[in-house]
Structure 1
Amino acid sequence: MAKLAAEGKFSGVVLLSHRGRTVLSRSYGMADREKGLPHHEGTAFSLSSAGKPFGAVAVLQLAQQGRLKLSDTVGTHLRGFAGDIAERVTVHHLLSGTSGLNTPDEDVHRVFRSREEVREYYEQWVRQSVPVAPPGTPTGHSGAEVGIPALIVEAVSGTSYWDYVQENILGRCGMTGPAFPTRPQWLTDPHIAHPYMTLADGSQVDAVRHLDKDSPDPDVLGKNPGRAFIDAPGDGGFATAPDLVRFARALGDGTLLDRPWAELLTGAKIPHSASSFGAYGMPVRIVNGQWVFGRGGGNPGVSASWNVYPYTGWVGVVLGNCDGLPLQEITGQEMQAITGASPGGGSGG
């Protein structure tokens, strides 16, 4: 990691924890270059897709309380969806990535100005989803499979997705970072890392301070994470590395979910390969005879990964705020160090 940092390919925090005790914690580079603020263990980073499991936990909390069932269809809780979605697609289909739905491309150039604008846009966006395969068919990263469960959480709980997750998940874990900061907070809070996005000419800019700049990366073409006023319901969020260790431990000790429900969250649902499976909101895999679960995420100037090794009590976290980080290689080495397996990829995006 020090070598990558010296080469300008990593700026961020790496943390390894064993049964709640920090074994390794290293910080490299700057959270805000303009203000000269270095990274430290208390720096909060954008999680991108690595925050999606928060939504799955929220749904399972409500299921544990008997307020919804995983067999409920979309129409049980939400109005206005076409019959082939409302009557056939279930909560289980959405959480497991098997809804058969496709969501149109987002307007990545839109600059949002309020929480209300973000929520309205993403509700209308997921309501444009259409069936492209029968329910039960793996459809992967469909926006509907993140956005519709968030709408169900709001309908059942009577509060916004952001407030529900803040109170019932992040707050309950004792997570201290700003969970869903708005862009004004991102600009002013010295504890939040700014994303440094690489442009076509190879230069890097602070995405939050340069909303007119686009990423040339084909995987995130035209995006700029700073344009979000707040992360979309069901997606993203911000956390420090110790926060993610607290979240991982809270999944296993009954703080967030009773044990059967926690096991349901991470239980293998859909086979992806010989030893990799889809669970609820995250991939799980068998590595050298033990289960590993977690989630990775990426955006222009954003890299995030957290992995949990429940058999041995290890948790690994990598959080970065610049492009060019070989995240899969790094998490593969993490898995090798912890499980003794040969390196081979990370926790998925």
Structure 2
Amino acid sequence: MNKAEEFIQSRLQQRAEKGILRILSSKPLLVDFSSNDYLGFARSAELKTISAATLTQITDYKNGATGSRLLNGNHIFTEETEQAIANFHHAEAGLIFNSGYDANIGLISSLAQRGDTIIADELIHASLIDGARLSHANRYTFKHNDLNELEAKLRVSKGNVYILIESIYSMDGDFAPITEISKLCKQYQANLIVDEAHALGIFGSQGSGVVQMLGLEQDIFARIVTFGKALGCHGAIVLGSKNLRNYLINFARSFIYTTAAPIHSITTINSAYQMLIKTDYTKQIEHKIRLYKSLLKDTAIPTIESTSTIQTVLYNNVNDAKLAAQTLQSKGLDVRAILSPTVAKGKERLRICLHLFNSDQEIEMLVNELKKLKYE
């Protein structure tokens, strides 16, 4: 075994000994409480039908894009879809990326230059962190949702300043204080970038997101809207000015140097937005969230306050979180443990996702099983 293989084996062994070795699994469970398919679009027969009908109207599409969009992989339907999505979100323009990860690393790494400053909430997604690392900017973090610490970092910032937050945080399910952060950005002439991955379809009129729910569209420098959660598709779009769109086309490496998404993927995204426009699902999903929280009320189960589809049960150590997840899975409930390093050590938890397709009876069953678990 050469040194590289020895290194690989050693790192894997370390994780196995700590009980945090990741493995892939395709084992189906009865009741989904773990996926990001909040509105059930990924399993939607209606979405398949609309997408197939839309695809028949496009006569010149190929199975694959055949190249990057700057070569021969662009299509007028993709550009029309980008503008339609931008209009839906009250933005001037938008640019589709192949994934939320690609969107975040492309946006952040290309924008922030040497001498600029990035200030990020400590709980932002790994893709935003990686985008910041790829830049040459000065980088700071502030304690989660701590406006005082954010302002302290703003006071010492130099160059163009970019603030990175999520509207709904993916592990805790809580809101960012976007209105207050936006005011600080105006005061210090900073640029606010908001990842709306877990807000699309859940908050705002027609599920347009938290930024629009708060009426802050014109105050946000850029929004990242991801299609792989509530829309049940794949990809993401960066929303902002026409200048920003043109800049990303020229400088975002994760856009420039990758094969474009195929047209059948774009039609699914387009069709999912048609469904959002046709039906406002926010009240329906709100009912599921209220039901879960009401059933959990007055219990000793340790949680993080959240009014989103993402709910947590804290265990604060690897073994207890894994055992709790295994117990629920043995009952046919697909609940997963989130372990370090995805969350900080000592912040291990069950991450519970609520969906429109979860019946009230299934949610009641979940809470009843949670009540049977041990908590310290």
TM surpasses 0.5? no
Higher alpha-carbon Rg: 2
| TM-score, L = length of structure 1 | 0.29
Name the structure where strand makes up a greater proportion of residues: 1
More helix by share: 2
Q: TM-score, normalised by structure 2?
A: 0.27
